[in-house]
């Protein structure tokens, strides 16, 4: 029996924090060595944090990187465990996304990433050079170990080219961002590659939030019989151990059936982790939210309380004469349920002051969205002042549906340093609230259920910027709007194709026009966590200025 023992690192690194990243690695590596592990494996570009972006263009960054690379090499002296390190390596004016195999103070082997992704959030051709395909491997205990990096495993052409090479084990270092249903996609991919290679595959993934990206961890190993023999935790740190005989076929699952198929549980966990890490890694201990009495600000408040504790969350209700008593009472009840402090700051006198200030210039022009947007901008100014004074990160509460069609006020309700629901459609907001009312997250500070009242959930959406205003006055019902938005944005379908699916052509064109003319708003919006394949920050890039006349098609 030939057992290979692995230590799989899932630690929450920070881009550029080489010192503390090294300390994380050191502690976990020493633990792995003490437990007689054969391999200690980090994710892709783990030492720098992922993605390092244009730090990779700086000489001083590489100088510091080399210092900590040497510290890791020094750390392995006298140790039996092999350190598998993901990091960028410079060679003859070229930069590679690399894997170093280090043992007893020596670099035994270097593998470089073959396939450089250049789509969506990935921009690796800006920084890295690819390497030539060759039959290289690391020989250990008479076994051939092949090391790949993330996209290498996903590229069919590359896999086809190396499928004739013989290996005993494939290990893949990844920085694979979270998306809805991504884990089942990864597992399906790994099993399909095992069909070709007939060897076990270990998939090591990153954990943590990094700006708009969330890495969900969930590292796993599948044996040559396509049975999952190791499953790391999702959305949590770990440095777990497991053993496998690469030459032996497992007869049964060695881990419980992977429970990672509840889409809304996963989205909720991703949002909590994204917010918690964005706050912590950017030195914010507290956050604040403009509370409206509606479902979006309620969900943002609950996620914030789950992420950093209710005592570190502040809410502000800023009513005008158009704000209903129900909204006020629902906001008070929400704050009581969640345990955060709510301040009520009436702004009607400020609204009137602005009306008086501008009345001479506006003259007899009819009241329109200008006056409505002023209310939102008054709120934005007050909230940003409070954010500045008390060093609390203001959360923008707009959802993907609103941002898609521009149903938001730039410099008003779009104010904030982090847009938590930026990639979450309105219909998904309801489902997330429903899930959270029945469950609590593994990351939750609040171990309670039923925290958002049915009154808030059932309330008809309204911006409350004029009398009797409803979202449905300006937009189709969200269940229809979101379906069309998904097809236009996430699927990139044509107007004609969506019309053939049974939707009204005029409605589709009207929605498309709103999407196009709102591009300037999204360009200026705060970043927010990516949870879909088509988020607004990097995945979808449209010009602000354009004259594409869709109705002619």
Q: What are the catalytic residues?
A: 44, 113, 150
Cis amide bond preceding 51, omega within 30: yes
Distance (Å, rounded) from C-alpha 522 to C-alpha 262?
A: 29
Question: Residues 99-107: contacts with CB within 8 Å, 24+ apart?
Answer: 99/147, 99/149, 99/173, 100/69, 101/138, 101/147, 102/72, 102/73, 102/76, 103/76, 103/79, 104/76, 104/77, 104/78, 104/79, 104/80, 105/73, 105/74, 105/76, 105/77, 105/78, 106/73, 107/73
Q: Which residues, other chains included, contact 87 with Cβ-Cβ below 8 Å and sequence gap of 6+?
A: 45, 46, 47, 48, 65, 69, 98, 100
CB 428 within 8 A of CB 270: no
Q: Within the chain, how many helices (H) and strands (E) appear?
A: 17, 19
Q: Which of 285, 301, 282, 361 is closest to 16 using CA atoms?
A: 282
Coil, helix or strand at residue 303 = helix
| Tokens representing residue 268 in the block | 């909720």
Find out whether 229 and 191 touch, Cβ atoms under 8 Å: no
**Entry field: residues in the chain:** 553
């Amino acid at each position: 029996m030939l057992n290979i023992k692995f230590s799989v690192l899932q630690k929450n690194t920070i881009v550029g924090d080489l010192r503390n990243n090294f300390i994380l690695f050191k502690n976990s590596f020493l633990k792995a060595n003490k437990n007689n592990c054969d391999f200690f494996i980090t994710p892709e570009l783990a030492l720098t944090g992922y993605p390092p972006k244009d730090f990779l263009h700086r000489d001083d960054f590489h100088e510091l990187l080399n210092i900590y690379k040497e510290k890791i090499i020094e750390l392995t002296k006298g140790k039996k465990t092999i350190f598998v390190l993901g990091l960028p390596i410079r060679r003859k004016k070229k930069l590679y996304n690399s894997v170093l195999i280090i043992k007893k103070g020596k670099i035994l082997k270097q593998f470089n990433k073959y396939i450089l992704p250049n789509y969506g959030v990935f921009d690796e051709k800006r920084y890295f050079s690819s390497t030539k395909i060759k039959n290289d491997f690391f020989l250990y205990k008479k076994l051939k170990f092949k090391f790949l990096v993330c996209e290498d495993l996903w590229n069919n052409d590359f896999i086809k080219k190396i499928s004739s090479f013989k290996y005993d084990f494939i290990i893949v270092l990844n920085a694979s961002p979270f998306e809805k249903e991504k884990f089942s996609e990864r597992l399906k991919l790994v099993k399909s590659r095992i069909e070709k290679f007939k060897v076990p595959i270990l998939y090591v993934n990153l954990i943590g939030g990094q700006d708009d990206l969330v890495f969900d961890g969930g590292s796993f190993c599948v044996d040559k019989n396509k049975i999952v023999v190791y499953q790391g935790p999702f959305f949590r740190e770990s440095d777990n151990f497991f053993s496998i005989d690469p030459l032996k076929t497992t007869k049964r699952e060695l881990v419980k059936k992977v429970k990672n198929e509840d889409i809304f549980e996963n989205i909720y966990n991703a949002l909590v982790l994204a917010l918690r890490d964005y706050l912590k890694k950017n030195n914010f201990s507290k956050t604040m939210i403009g509370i409206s009495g509606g479902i979006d600000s309620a969900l943002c408040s609950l996620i914030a309380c789950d992420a950093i504790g209710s005592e570190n969350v502040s809410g502000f209700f800023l009513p005008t004469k158009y704000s209903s008593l129900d909204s006020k009472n629902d906001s008070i009840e929400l704050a009581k349920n969640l345990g955060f402090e709510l301040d009520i700051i009436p702004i009607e006198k400020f609204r009137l002051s602005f009306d008086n200030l501008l009345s001479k210039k506006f003259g007899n022009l009819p009241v329109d969205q200008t006056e409505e947007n002023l209310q939102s901008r008054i709120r934005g100014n007050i909230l940003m002042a409070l954010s500045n004074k008390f060093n609390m990160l203001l959360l923008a509460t707009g959802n993907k549906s609103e941002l898609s069609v521009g149903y938001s006020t730039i410099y008003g309700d779009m104010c904030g340093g982090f847009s938590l629901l930026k990639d979450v459609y309105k219909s998904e907001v309801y489902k997330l609230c429903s899930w959270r009312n029945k469950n609590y997250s593994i990351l939750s500070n609040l171990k309670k259920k039923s925290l958002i009242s049915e009154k808030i959930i059932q309330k008809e959406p309204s911006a409350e910027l004029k009398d009797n205003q409803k979202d449905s006055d300006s937009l189709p019902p969200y269940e229809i709007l979101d379906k069309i938005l998904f097809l236009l944005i996430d699927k990139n379908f044509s107007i004609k194709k969506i019309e053939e699916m049974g939707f009204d052509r005029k409605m589709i064109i009207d929605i498309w026009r709103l999407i196009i003319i709102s591009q300037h708003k999204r360009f200026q919006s705060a970043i927010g966590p990516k949870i879909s394949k088509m988020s607004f920050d990097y995945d979808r890039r449209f010009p602000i200025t354009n004259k594409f006349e869709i109705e002619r098609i």
